[in-house]
A and B are shown apart, each in its own frame.
Chain A
Amino acid sequence: DTGVSQDPRHKITKRGQNVTFRCDPISEHNRLYWYRQTLGQGPEFLTYFQNEAQLEKSRLLSDRFSAERPKGSFSTLEIQRTEQGDSAMYLCATTPSGSNTGELFFGEGSRLTVL
């Protein structure tokens, strides 16, 4: 399978714990996006990378959230001191370099449940 891969698919954690999600993009897709989707809502933009550079961050991305893409390939999204309001599906999407056509390729998501 050469699609966008996300890991883990499901994570249950206790409030206050840290969690990390990983996204492996489609090869040769240099733009990588993180979105968050809560129940009954559409995806909401969090941040995006062009290669290893983080070019934009949403105001939704509080200082407890950090995203990295150290070698311009896979990316991680870490949430520190999780809160119940962080419970959501975290989506990764990629698109070819230089392209802002809105044609994103999404992974299946990582579902976070904070108890």
Chain B
Amino acid sequence: GDSVTQMEGPVTLSEEACLTINCTYTATGYPSLFWYVQYPGEGLQLLLKATKADDKGSNKGFEATYRKETTSFHLEKGSVQVSDSAVYFCALLTGYSTLTFGKGTMLLVSP
């Protein structure tokens, strides 16, 4: 079945550091890929998505590129802020299925 594997957290960074959160997937067919973010005390919200190979999703300074050859969708940001502290979930969607989420990666950014 479909599955998503994310790097374990927490990831602890200082403000303005570079961020990479790894995500790899296993899926039948050609999935759409997503990053969701959950800020403290809030519901999950969509951060970015990519629907086909080599697409790059971007939002709020975050980027992720759909790499079919490595079945990956790593989340990157060049300079993190304290306000980026949250839990990040990688997810995939195939056909008429429902979203399959990874376990989440907590990011802690200190001033």
Residues of chain A touching chain B, judged by Cβ–Cβ distance below 8 Å, are: 3-4, 33, 40-45, 48, 56, 91, 93, 100-109
With both chains docked as a complex, state the minimum distance between the C-beta of A58 and any C-beta of chain B, in angstroms: 8
When each residue 23-50 of chain B gets 1 if its CB lies under 8 Å from chain A and 0 otherwise, what string results?
Answer: 0000000001010000001111110010
CA distance A104 to B91 in the complex (A): 11
When each residue 89-111 of chain B gets 1 if its CB lies under 8 Å from chain A and 0 otherwise, what string results?
Answer: 10101001011111110000000
CA distance A13 to B26 in the complex (A): 38
With both chains docked as a complex, state the minimum distance between the C-beta of B59 and any C-beta of chain A, in angstroms: 12
Given A33-B98, A41-B103; A102-B44 close (CB under 8 Å): no
With both chains docked as a complex, state the minimum distance between the C-beta of A88 and any C-beta of chain B, in angstroms: 14
Main secondary structure of the interface of A (DSSP, over half): loop
Which size bracket describes the interface of B in this complex? 20 to 34
Residues of B within 8 A of A56 (CB): 98
Instruction: Verify A40–B44 contact, CB threshold 8 A.
Output: no
CA distance A57 to B103 in the complex (A): 21
Instruction: Verify B103–A40 contact, CB threshold 8 A.
Output: yes
A42 touches which of B45, B93, B102 (Cβ 8 Å): B102
New A-B contacts (8) at CB < 8 Å, excluding given A102-B34, A108-B42, A109-B43:
A44-B101, A56-B98, A93-B44, A100-B93, A101-B49, A103-B49, A106-B45, A108-B43
B91 touches which of A40, A48, A102, A105 (Cβ 8 Å): A102
With both chains docked as a complex, state the minimum distance between the C-beta of A40 and any C-beta of chain B, in angstroms: 7
What are 7 A-B residue pairs whose CB atoms fall within 8 Å in the complex?
A43-B44, A45-B99, A48-B98, A56-B98, A91-B43, A100-B93, A102-B34
